[in-house]
């Protein structure tokens, strides 16, 4: 996967080989910052406004005052695309730290935040989205403010690694048997034509693709119930699926080695995948590749 050469570093454009993080960068020493991952299709950002709004909510929540407006930041990100002559499918990674200052737990005074961003190619995984994925279940040991897209991701990393070691794509996280989300995506259960998912409390990330799904189901008149389902509910589910900017809408076909219903992607998941592709103006259609 190639990374494009021009990077936004501390609000200036530079070549990736010239990037140097300050020794006392608070993102490195404290994880003191937030991040966003934005999907790119054929050189165009998808759900850009939703991601920028969430970034500003996260910075406000941890008391980082950005020195740019939303419109200025969007202009900078568009310039990043232009300078890299980005025309393919990819993703943008962006993080905001509190800044660089002598190491101290308390916030530094008179220090501007640092903004870093880069883009890289990210082909769509049509095979995974067509056939579905396996997941494991894993206890949710994260902090109580998961709605903040914090740089502190060690519990997520550990859960994702355990999933990989079990030959799976993701880990479904749960607290006292109630499902919250996955290690890097939101998760949904379909039962009797209704979609169930954890409400947007502090315990989950308010996903941008989730926001899009909420709009899709209105068009299809599918009930969208914000109610946490349990691990026991999984075994009688008609369908399970997950969503994120990089995974789009992906069916879950096994959990802890056991099939979900027939062990194949379900009709509501496929319907939402079609709506996603239409909304994102994607040229190569996933549904056309379904057998």
252-255-257 Cα angle (round to 5): 120
Q: To the nearest 10°, the Cα dihedral for 5, 153, 260, 200?
A: -100
Q: Where are the alpha helices (DSSP H) in the chain?
A: 26-30, 48-61, 70-84, 126-131, 154-165, 208-220, 231-234, 267-280
Pairing of strands 258-259, 248-255: antiparallel
Query: Considering 91, 149, 160, 270, which one is annotated as catalytic?
Result: 149
The sign of the CA dihedral 70, 73, 79, 83 is negative
What distance lies between CA 132 and its chain's CA centroid?
18
Identify the sign of the CA torsion 62, 49, 210, 161. negative
Active site residue 149: yes
Strand order in the sheet with 44-45: 12-15, 6-9, 114-121, 90-97, 33-41, 44-45
**Which of 211, 159, 89, 247 shows the shortest CA–CA distance to 197?**
211
CA 286 from centre of chain? 20
155 contacts: CB under 8 Å, gap ≥ 6 = 140, 141, 142
Q: Which residues have a catalytic role annotated? A: 149
């Amino acid at each position: 996967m190639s990374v494009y050469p021009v990077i936004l570093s501390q609000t200036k454009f530079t070549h990736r080989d010239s990037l140097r993080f300050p020794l006392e960068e608070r993102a490195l020493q404290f994880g003191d910052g937030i991040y966003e991952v934005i999907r790119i299709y054929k050189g165009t950002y998808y759900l850009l406004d939703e991601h920028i709004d969430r970034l500003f909510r996260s910075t406000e929540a941890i008391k980082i005052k950005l020195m740019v407006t939303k419109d200025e930041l969007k202009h900078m990100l568009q310039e990043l695309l232009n300078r890299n002559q980005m025309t393919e499918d990819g993703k943008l990674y962006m993080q905001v730290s509190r800044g660089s200052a002598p190491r101290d737990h308390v916030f530094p005074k008179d220090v501007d935040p640092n903004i870093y961003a880069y883009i890289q190619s990210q082909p769509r995984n049509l095979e995974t989205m067509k056939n579905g994925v396996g997941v494991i279940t894993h206890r949710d040991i994260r902090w109580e403010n998961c709605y903040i897209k914090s740089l502190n991701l060690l519990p997520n990393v550990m859960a994702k690694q355990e999933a990989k070691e079990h030959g799976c794509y993701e880990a479904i996280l749960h607290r006292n048997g109630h499902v919250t989300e996955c290690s890097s995506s939101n998760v949904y259960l379909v039962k009797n034509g209704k979609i169930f998912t954890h409400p947007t409390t502090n315990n989950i990330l308010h996903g941008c693709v989730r926001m899009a799904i909420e709009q899709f189901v209105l068009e299809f008149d599918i009930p969208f119930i914000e109610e946490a389902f349990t691990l026991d509910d999984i075994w009688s589910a008609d369908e399970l699926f997950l969503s994120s900017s990089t995974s789009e809408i992906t069916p879950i076909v096994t959990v802890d080695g056991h099939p979900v219903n027939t062990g194949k992607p379900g009709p509501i998941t496929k319907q939402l995948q079609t709506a996603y592709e239409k909304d994102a103006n994607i040229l190569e259609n996933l549904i056309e590749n379904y057998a």
